[in-house]
Every structure is written in C-alpha cells, then in structure tokens.
Structure 1
Amino acid sequence: MKTLQHILIAFYLFSMLPINGQEIKSSSNSANINVETSQALRGEAALTKSIVRDYIVTRIEDFKLHKEIRSQGNVDDKAIRKYYSQREILLIQMGWEVEEFENTENRINQVLAGLKIESHISSDAEFQNEIKEINSNPYLTEKQKKATIELLELDRENRRATFVDPIQKDRPAVMAYIKELRHLKDYLAENRSDPPVLRD
C-alpha cells in the first residue's frame, strides 16, 4: 500500500514536469515553509544538553499546571486565559522567556521528527522492496518504472536535505535525552502517569 502511494505521488510529480521548456509553478507554500524553518534552525546556536534537560523539567511542570486547571471544571475561555497567564509566570520563574521556551520545544520536535524520517529513508532494504514492487507492476511501462524510481530517489534526497541535514547541530543534545523525551511524549499524551526521571 505504501509503495502504491509512492507510485501515485511519483506520477503526480511526473505529470508536473516542465512541458516544452516551460516551468509549472505550484501554488502551495508548504515547501517554502519547510525550507525557511530549516534555514532558521541552521542560523541559531546549537542546543546543549543542559538546555534540553531544563526543557524537560519545565515541560513536566507546565503539564502539571495544565492538568490542574483542567481539573477545576469546564475548559472555557476564562480557564484558557488563566492557564496561559500562569504558564507565563511559571516559565519566567524557571528561567525562560515564553518565545524562547516554545522555540526550544519546536527545535527538539524537529530533531525527533527528523530522526524518524532518517530512519525511514536510510532503510535500503525497504527502498529496494519498493523498487522491486514498482518493477513487478504489470501496469507500468519500462519508461514509467524508470521515471517512478528516479522520482522516489529524488524524494529521499529532498527529505534528507529538508528534514535531516538541518537537525545535525541539535542532534547530540537531543540524543543525550532521547529516552527521557520519548517517555515525556507518552506522559504528555497521558499514555503513562509517571513523568520521566532525569539523570544527573
């Protein structure tokens, strides 16, 4: 099923190739947004282990505050305003500016997402299986098979350049707490009741 989706995507891209030397421009801004995010990440200093550790500690307290306010009754506009007001105070008390904290969270999530994408595109066995399925598809001509495989290869290269390469400077700090961050994700989703315990 995944390969079929890739084939459909590939043929869509194939249909959008330049015709008679004329470029076809997409109206979507999603690719530009991803590139801009990657450029912003490249322009900042790398995250450190202490920053990631402080983020986890603060995010746990932030979540406790959220649960406390949620337990007080209906989550209406007043409750939401109360949460964000108290959250700002909490962040400042723990040494953060709101924008700084949210930017750090975004960068950590970028690394986690990039690691997942890297795991997928680095799987040669999976990619070879996709190629095998394309080559064995009786509905594609040899020319179509070749074009589809080339587009899949280009897709892998683009995803690496967009999502994997820009996270490398933040990767060591995140990897130092990868177990705790995955634990934190489950805790925030309320899939487990215990917050992560941080190593010294």
Structure 2
Amino acid sequence: MKVTKSDLAHVAVKPEQYPTSRLPEIALSGRSNVGKSSFINKMINRKGLARTSQRPGKTQTLNFYEINEMLYFVDVPGYGFAKVPKPEREAWGRMIETYLQDREQLKAVVLIVDLRHPPSSDDKMMYNWLKHFDIPVIVVATKSDKIPKGKWEKHLKVIRNDLEKVESDPLLLFSSETAQGKEQVWKTIQYYISK
C-alpha cells in the first residue's frame, strides 16, 4: 500500500477519547523495546511520526495514527520492560483490555516479537489472551536484518512453537532497517480490514 497521508490523530486513555469515525483499526502490541515505533515509521514512510525512545515504556496512552484516511494504527503501551510503578502498570492494563475487548472497529492485533529471541513469557501471555477473546492476531517477527537469511526459518520455528501459534495466524518477517516484509505486512493488514 502506498501511504500518502499519515498523522497522529488521537491520543486516548478512555473510550470517550477514541476516534468517532468508523474507520477500521489495527492495534500494535509488543514488549516495550521491541521496536513498535520503528515498525510504524517504516510502514508509513515517516521517519519520526512515532517517537522512538531509548527509555522503554514511553508510550503510556493509546495513540491512533490515521493512515490515508482509510484506517488507524493504534499503538498500545508496551509490556515487560517499563520501569513503572505497579498501580500505573495496572491502570495501563485496564486501559488496554478495555480497548481490545470492546472496540468494534478493531480488525486485528499485530503482535510484534523479536526474531532474535524466543518469545518472552509476556509475549506468550499476550498471544494467549488475544486468542482467548477471539481477536485476530498477525505475528510480526522484526529485526530480521540482524539474523543471517539462512537462519530465519530456524528462528521462526522457535516463535511458532513457543507461542503455540495457531496455523491460521500469519507469521511474517520484518525489518524496519531494510523494509524486509513491508509489502507482505501491508497485504495482510489489507486482508483483515476488508473482512
């Protein structure tokens, strides 16, 4: 997909702050330092629209990025690494659950994992939670540029097995450095938003 227009259109912590339009939404989930912001910027051809940070846990809101006036990417707070007080983490958890469980416009969740490492316990918990609530999942294994091509399949197999991934859920390679997999991810997202 050729992205010609993209903006951070809404920042929300509760349902009344969500966009009122009926555009389809794709949520982006993953560990705090897995590269969600870099994924967004590469997918929409904008260097700094989604802020990348050296400090994990920077995203504390639901950030709605409007793309080509036809869909939203919704960046949700990362899990795992954030050095955040427990009450605040629990508040994030409730905010994310409310959005993921109740939002009619949500078409799928892109679960971003790091190709270099086996899925963390948080990755597995997130995947299982999404499956429990019948939310479609697209697993994207990022940082493929950091692994020799000949070892990709071995690493993908670890991800498949550790997540106990359902056969029908896509598992796609991606690199925000080289744009590897970008077209395939867009095709997959377009499939889900057209359903």
* TM-score, length-scaled by structure 1: 0.26
Greater Cα radius of gyration, structure 1 or 2: 1
Greater percentage in helix? 1
Q: Which has the bigger relative contact order, CA under 8 A and spacing at least 6?
A: 1
Q: TM-score, normalised by structure 2?
A: 0.26
